[in-house]
Amino acid sequence: MENEQTDLYSTSTRELIITAFLNLLASIQFKKITVRQIVNKAGISRSTFYLHFEDKYDLISGITEELVEGFMLFYTQPVLATTTSYNLPKDGISSNTFKICEHIKINKSFYKDRFQDKEFVALFTKRIGTELEKNLEDPEFAAFAAFGTVGYIAKWLEDDLETSVDDFAKNLSTIGNAIMSRYQVHP
C-alpha cells in the first residue's frame, strides 16, 4: 500500500513539474527558463525536482519524447471514417487529421518553442516522412509530403494558430487527400 502511495505521489509530482514547465513555456523561451522558475511555479523544492529530472534538458527531452510519440500515434493508427462529431465544416477530414490539429493546439506552447530548434524540426520531419513512406512507398514523395506538412504546421504556429482547428484540419486534409489520391492510397 505504501509503494502505491509513493508511486502516486511520484507520478503526480512529475505531472506537476511538467505542467508548471509547460505553463512557463507559454510565456518564456526554453533557453531562458530556469529550474528555480520551474520549482517556484510547481510549488516544490529543488531537491524534489531533481528526484524526477536531472535538469531542464532532461525535462524537455522527456516531454518531447512523450508528445512526439503521441503525435506519431495519429500516423500509425488506422484512419477512422470521416466524422462530423466535432462539428467539422465538411466531410473529408479524417479523425486522425483532426486529432493531430487538436494535439498541436493543446500543446501549442511546446510546439512553438520546439519549432525554433532546427534539430527538432529535422527529426520531427524525418519521423513523419518515415510514417508516410509506409503508405506512399515512395521515399522522395514521402519526404516532400513530410516537409510540406511540417512547414504548414510551422506556419500555423507562427500565425499563433489564428486559423481554427476545424479550418486547419480541413486544409491539411485537402492537401493530404491530394497526395493520397496521387498515389491511389486508401488510408
Q: What secondary structure does DSSP assign to 172-183, as a single string?
A: HHHHHHHHHHHT
Using alpha carbons, list the distances in angstroms from residue 155 to 21, 65, 152.
24, 22, 5
Question: What is the average pLDDT across 76-88?
Answer: 51
Q: Name the one residue in this structure whose C-alpha cell is 466524422.
A: 83
| 156 occurs within a structural domain | yes
State the amino acid at position 90 in one-letter form.
K
State residue 2's pLDDT score.
45
Band of pLDDT at residue 20, cut at 50, 70 and 90: very high
State residue 186's pLDDT score.
46
**Shared domain check, 153 and 121:** yes
Where in the sequence is the domain holding 153, given as residue range(s)? 64-187
State residue 183's pLDDT score.
59
Report how many domains make up the chain.
2
**Shared domain check, 128 and 45:** no
| 58 occurs within a structural domain | no
User: Is residue 113 within 8 Å of 92, Cβ to Cβ?
Assistant: no
**Shared domain check, 49 and 102:** no
Question: What is the average pLDDT across 42-64?
Answer: 96
**Shared domain check, 21 and 78:** no
State the amino acid at position 2 in one-letter form.
E
Question: What is the average pLDDT across 159-184?
Answer: 82
Long-range Cβ contact pairs of 151-157 (< 8 A, separation 24 or more): 153/104, 153/111, 153/115, 154/115, 154/121, 156/104, 157/104, 157/108, 157/111, 157/112, 157/115
| 59 occurs within a structural domain | no
User: pTM for this structure?
Assistant: 0.80
User: Is residue 150 within 8 Å of 131, Cβ to Cβ?
Assistant: no
Q: Output the average pLDDT for the chain.
A: 84
Residue 90 has pLDDT above 80, yes or no: no
**Shared domain check, 68 and 41:** no
